[in-house]
Each structure stands twice: as C-alpha cells, then as structure tokens.
A = this chain, B = another copy of it.
C-alpha cells in the first residue's frame, strides 16, 4: 500500500482504522455490492468525503480490507510455521480457532468469496489467487503427512487438499447460517480422528 499524507497524523490513522472496521462490518453483513460508502461514513460519524479522502473509491476500500485480512493471515501462518513439529490436525484446528476468533472476518470471507464467483466482481482475481495459494499450501502439507505415513495414500494429495478446503468452507457456511444446529468443532474433530494418524 502506498503511503499518503493521511498517515502522518495519529488522528488520520485512527479515522482510517475506524473506516476500515466499519467497512469490514458493512461488507460482512451486506456484501460488497450491498454496502454503501454513505452507510460506512454514517457508522464512523464522518462525511462521505471523509471516507473518500482515505479511500478514493469503494473498490479501494475493498482492497484495503482484503490487505488487512491478509496481513493477519500471514501473521497466523508465520506463527504456525514457527511452532515446532506442527501436525495436520494441529494446523487445521489452529485455523478453525483462528477463524472462530474472527467471526466477523470469517463472515466477510463467506460473502465476498461467494460474490466473487462473478468475474465482474472486483475481488474475483483476489479469490482466484487466494484459492490457488491455499490449494498449493495444503497439497504440500498433505503430501508431507502422507510421506510420514500419517494420512492415507489412497487419495492424491491434491484431491485431499481440494476436499479439505471445501469441507472447511462448507462447514463454516452451515455454522454461520445456524450456529446452534450442530457442533462444527466436533464434526471436524471426528473427521480428523478418522482420517489422520498424528500420534
């Protein structure tokens, strides 16, 4: 992200952060297309121009929201990589915990990824890239676990990677639609116990 004079005052930074928080909330509940700059401005208590001073368009605001989410993700992944002897089970559980802590961001991710199916959506390329990277990461991780005899070799690592990502996304959607309907943690835990021999 390019630095702008906006960043030079603490007040400017605080307003920028407040706009980003309000944008995450607005996008997470109404989607990118359903949210409006006016609504975000009203939430923060600034004018429409006040928002546009920090983010010249709704697309720029979306990019900044996704950048912020990525920064947090990178921190999370670095923490995972630094952890000694991380197993597939621990990695998946840590990802679930991480998502649970950030319910607002998880909901943002659900709606933006669904909207981005349309090639005309400003986050389309972002999600294409994102899923490619996650598939690669999971494929490598699962291949390693297979080599160590901790995951079945009856399925290709790419197949298991696609399926595991699909399972996590789909579980998250069902859990978000009705949180009390079933225990998503338990379902995931039972499936991991069935599939993975980390011990």
Contacts and interface: CB of A to CB of B under 8 A. Distances in A.
Contacts of A159: 186-187, 190-191
Main secondary structure of the interface of A (DSSP, over half): helix
Interface residues of A, number: 51
Copies in the assembly, this chain = 2
Contact of A166 (B32, B115, B170): B170
A177 B165 CA distance: 13
A135 B170 contact: no
Given A167-B167, A187-B163, A173 B114 contact: yes
A186 B156 CA distance: 11
Interface in A89-112: 107, 110-111
Interface of A: 28-34, 107, 110-111, 113-118, 120, 124, 127-128, 131-132, 135, 152, 154-156, 158-159, 162-163, 165-171, 173-174, 176-178, 181-182, 184, 186-187, 190-191, 194
A176 B117 contact: yes
